[in-house]
Amino acid sequence: MSDPIVTLATCAELPDLDADEQGLPDALRERGLEPRISVWNDPDVDWSQAGTVVVRSVRDYAAQREEFRAWARSIPRILNQAQVMDWNSDKHYLRELEARGLPVIPTVWLEPEQNLTKHQLHTRFPAYGDFVVKPAISSGGRGTGRYTAIDPNSRGEAIRHAMSELENGRPVMVQRYLDQIDRSGETSLIYLNGLASYQVEKDPMLHPSFRSTEEFHEEVVRSDATNSQEWRWGEQIREIVHGYIVDTCGRDELLLYNRVDIVRGGPKDAHEFYVLEVSLIDGSLYLSQNPTHLKKFADAIAMRVHW
């Protein structure tokens, strides 16, 4: 009897997976599975023979979102589920999570159909401090820029950045940049099959000189840590996310992987923490940072294959 097939979906840019995930095929073999790696939009792949499809290094999904959504819906067995990835592919989901009580960084949403002028963009940007401009549909930090509100040149760059995104039909997010990120970085909480698995601490990615680019940006992981307070926050987030999934999909869906990015609130902030992002598609799981991370993810995949 042949081993169950697990196909790891990637993009043409990373035909052998992201470097962080290249130990995954061997780990799956050790668990009695037959791993394959396929580019998600390769027309020569027969997805009916792909077994369980695990979405991983699909770094180009945002640029081809409609094609990616259609592809995901066509796969008989895909993790995470197509409907879940559908709503997670547009960061407007943060508005829904905020409405359910999650502390999200205050965000101004700019929509292409508003036909905003440069002056109107100027009035929607913060009056002080640093802020971030990024498309609502993006992957890996592409199209993200950090700017300074009181610097005329920086503010002008931000206006041009937002205008370029909007003119290309992409909704834009404008968020206050939290100084706390520069002091203590970010935390990613990783859940596998709905269970708290591990967390990593990350250096700040958006330095003051950072400007918008279409390049993919990797976070710099500083350490592996366990903090009960952050897991307590993570449980609040997980419960709200799953409540949202139930209402969106009509039933609860057990997520193979769920990465929640948070930052601690500062002494003057209204909340203990803020949610930066919930990654259910291609967000890094930091498998190479600690051997136990890879083992846990391979175990989680094996469990779902034999569910």
Range 219-247 average pLDDT: 77
**Helix spans in the chain (H):** 24-29, 65-74, 82-88, 93-99, 118-124, 152-167, 179-184, 228-249, 291-305
Q: Quick one: pLDDT band at residue 225, thresholds 50, 70, 90? A: low
Q: What are phi and psi of 47, to 5 degrees?
A: -70, -15
Same domain flag for 201 and 248:
yes
pLDDT tens per residue across span 125-135: 999 999 999 99
Residue 102 lies in a domain: no
Same domain flag for 287 and 186:
yes
pLDDT of residue 275: 92
Q: Quick one: pLDDT band at residue 265, thresholds 50, 70, 90? A: confident
Structural domain harbouring 72: 5-88
Sign of the CA dihedral with 221 first, then 203, 139, and 74 last: positive
Same domain flag for 235 and 271:
yes
Q: Which two structure tokens, joined as six digits, stand for 79?
A: 């993790």
Range 32-36 average pLDDT: 97
CATH of the domain at 168: 3.30.1490.20
Same domain flag for 273 and 194:
yes
pLDDT of residue 2: 76
pLDDT of residue 210: 46
Give percent above pLDDT 90 in the chain: 71
What mean pLDDT value characterizes the chain?
89
Number of domains comprising the chain:
3
**Omega before residue 80 within 30° of 0, cis:** yes
Give dist(CA 130, CA 148) in Å, integer: 4
Q: Quick one: pLDDT band at residue 251, thresholds 50, 70, 90? A: confident
Same domain flag for 193 and 286:
yes
DSSP annotation of 268 = T
Residue 297 lies in a domain: no
pLDDT of residue 227: 64
Q: Which are the contacts of 238, defined by CB distance < 8 A and separation ≥ 6?
A: 191, 194, 258, 260
Residue 305 lies in a domain: no
Q: Quick one: pLDDT band at residue 229, thresholds 50, 70, 90? A: confident
Same domain flag for 233 and 277:
yes
Same domain flag for 49 and 70:
yes
Same domain flag for 113 and 66:
no
Residue 304 lies in a domain: no
Q: Other C-beta atoms within 10 Å of 283: how many?
A: 21
Same domain flag for 78 and 135:
no
Same domain flag for 82 and 11:
yes
Residue 232 lies in a domain: yes
Same domain flag for 198 and 125:
no
Instruction: Provide the residue type at 285 as one letter.
Output: L
Same domain flag for 183 and 112:
no
Residue 301 lies in a domain: no
DSSP 3-state of 289: coil
205 has pLDDT over 60: no
